[in-house]
Amino acid sequence: GKFDLAEKHADICRPGDVDVVPPRLIHSEYAGAEKSIAVIVRSQRSGTFEQFRYLEDGRQVIILGPDQAPYALS
């Protein structure tokens, strides 16, 4: 089916802000020109479960989400 993708709420996050998005809430992210870091906490590893992506024409497609990139924190 089709979805109404009209924006209902928007937050502008500045450096140092923390943005918490509840599970399954349709949202988008825009970092702008500032460097940003995202910490995502999930109950299952990214890329191992289906997620919905909502297209501008109202359709939805199923994706596996982002791949994790190993990075040494040293």
Q: Give a yes or no: residue 45 inside a domain.
A: yes
> pTM (2 decimals)?
0.54
Q: Give a yes or no: residue 74 inside a domain.
A: no
For 1, the domain range is 1-68
The gap from C-alpha 7 to its chain's centroid, in whole angstroms, comes to 15
Q: Give a yes or no: residue 73 inside a domain.
A: no
Report how many domains make up the chain.
1
Q: Give a yes or no: residue 39 inside a domain.
A: yes
Q: What is the reported pLDDT for 62?
A: 92
**Residue ranges in the chain modelled with pLDDT below 70:** 1
Q: Give a yes or no: residue 33 inside a domain.
A: yes
Q: What is the reported pLDDT for 36?
A: 78
Contacts of 63 (CB under 8 A, 6+ apart): 50, 51, 52, 53
